[in-house]
Amino acid sequence: MSKYTTRLIISVFLFVFLISFTCQAEEIDEVSIETSKMVTGKWTLPYVSAHSAILIDTQTGDILYERDAYKKRPPASTTKVLTAITALDLAGVDEISTVSEKADRVGESSIYLSKGNKLALGELIEGALIRSGNDACVAIAEQIAGSMEEFIRLMNLKAVSLGAFNSNFVNPHGLPDKDHYSTAYDLAVIARYAMKNPVFAKTVAQQYGVIEYNQPHKSQQVKNTNKLLWSYPLADGIKTGTTNAAGKCLIASATKEGRRLICVLLNAPDRFGDAHRLLEWGFNHTEIYTLGKKGDQVGTYRLGGRDIPAVLGSDVVICIEKEKKNMLKEQALFHQNIRREIKAGDILGYYNIFIGDKLIKQAMLVSPQDYKGSPWGILNFKDFFPKTS
């Protein structure tokens, strides 16, 4: 079995696993905030030039700001975030790649690879993420999957498995194609996942990198295209992108006191200014609140005349604007099924968190242990007779 076949099998397995996990796990919550607002005579949201934009908290996944975040747009070289994390999930950074003629000939942004060059996968990833080399992306694709076409299949599998459902990628570098598109939301989902990989996170935080070649033996310094790393002290990534079709794009990350925010800006004339303002607004005007811990009892479930403890199946943590904390409302909602017994971990209902009438977070309520009810006490005889008016 070839290494490419093995990687395809691994990728399909991970795809199925992640899809299954995503159905059970919390997704990024759609907590939209209006695009302009004034409080006590001052604007509390910054000016944003981007046609599509989103700001998320990476711990909770909550959306703190969005503008047309679900509109399909060309992503330009922000595509390379998915290229890099697909490669890092499937191969070791020490694998040696031989540059093909196809990689040599790819146009526009480049690290100037030549046919026959040999270098490690990790060096190619630096070339793709720091210098935005299109040639490095083709070399990565061919090293991982044996061909561009097969690697693109793996990229799209990865995107869908992460919950990026409104994207389609037809190349690993982001050069324009009518069938190559994504959304600000999808790119935020992908970037949030990518930043959990320490190799990826370390790479995109570098202002400069050094690419080491095995053949010919040489070193090449590259400068990061992300100017935010120089202008904003809290910035630690991630990736720029620019084409005539996409405009100026940026996925930006910043960390303050252990808390990381990510913003995505598509077709943004002032992308670095937008990122600086959005990230600062996020740190200053939003906060993470823990409303409950896994195992906390928040209600009771009636079973055969008995009150069964209902506990949280996961931590309930949200990130919202500070001024909205007092608007939070909580509700425990239980299933009404007729049941004879309950097993530990069975879902009894849901713990819902609202801001006003908008549901912003939901956690499962589960049983902490096994219980059996009386065969007589569980029946609600009203359920067996039709209602009369």
Q: Choose the final residue of a domain: 264, 288, 312.
A: 288
User: Which domain CATH number covers 218?
Assistant: 3.40.710.10
Domain boundary among 269, 288, 307: 288
Same-domain pairing of 173 and 249: yes
Domain-embedded: residue 388: no
Separation CA 246–CA 75 (nearest Å): 6
Q: What is the pTM of this model?
A: 0.85
Q: Are residues 229 and 154 in the same domain?
A: yes
Q: How does DSSP classify residue 183? A: -
Structural domain includes residue 74:
yes
pLDDT in tens, the chain (389 residues): 666 666 666 665 555 555 544 443 333 333 333 344 444 444 568 899 999 999 999 999 999 999 999 999 999 999 999 999 999 999 999 999 999 999 988 878 899 999 999 999 999 999 999 999 999 999 999 999 999 999 999 999 999 999 999 999 999 999 999 999 999 999 999 999 999 999 999 999 999 999 999 999 999 999 999 999 999 999 999 999 999 999 999 999 999 999 999 999 999 999 999 999 999 999 999 999 999 999 999 999 887 778 889 999 999 999 999 999 999 999 999 988 656 788 999 999 999 999 989 999 999 999 999 987 655 544 443 433 344 43
Q: Answer yes or no: is 10 within a domain.
A: yes
pLDDT digits (tens, 9 = 90+) for 63-79: 999 999 999 999 999 99
Same domain assignment for residues 242 and 351: no
In a domain, 156, yes or no: yes
Token match 């600000």: residue?
184
Rg of the chain, C-alpha, whole Å: 25
Distance separating alpha carbons of residues 240 and 130, to the nearest angstrom:
9
Domain that holds residue 179: 3-288
Residue 255 CA, chain-centre distance (Å), reads: 16
The answer as to whether 309 is a domain residue is: yes
Domain match, 275 and 126 both = yes
* 242 and 320, same domain (yes or no): no
Q: Are residues 113 and 204 in the same domain?
A: yes
Numbers of helices and strands, H then E, in the chain: 10, 20
Inside any domain, residue 389: no
- The reply to whether 259 and 361 lie within a common domain is no
Which run of H or of E encompasses 273?
Answer: helix 271-285
Q: Where are the beta strands (DSSP E) in the chain?
A: 38-39, 42-43, 52-57, 63-67, 96-98, 118-120, 208-213, 218-223, 235-243, 247-256, 259-266, 286-292, 297-303, 306-312, 316-321, 328-334, 341-342, 347-355, 358-366, 371-372
Q: Please list the alpha-helical segments (H only) found in 146-183.
A: 148-161
Check if the beta carbon of residue 228 is closer than 8 Å to that of residue 275. yes
Give the CATH number of the domain where residue 331 resides: 2.60.410.10
Average pLDDT, the chain: 88
Do 313 and 351 form a contact (C-beta atoms < 8 A)? no
Q: Are residues 67 and 13 in the same domain?
A: yes
Pairing relationship of beta strands 347-355 and 358-366 according to DSSP bridges: antiparallel
Domain shared by 223 and 301, yes or no: no
Q: Which of 255, 288, 321 is the last residue of a domain?
A: 288
CA distance 191 to 218: 31
- Looking up tokens 């096994």 gives 370
- Residues marked active site are found at 77, 80, 132
Whether residue 146 lies inside any domain: the answer is yes
Whether residue 345 sits in one domain with residue 327: yes
Q: How many domains does the chain have?
A: 2
Query: What span, in angstroms and rounded, lies between the C-alpha atoms of 68 and 245?
Result: 17
142 and 38 in one domain?
yes
Instruction: For residues 274 and 360, state if they share a domain.
Output: no
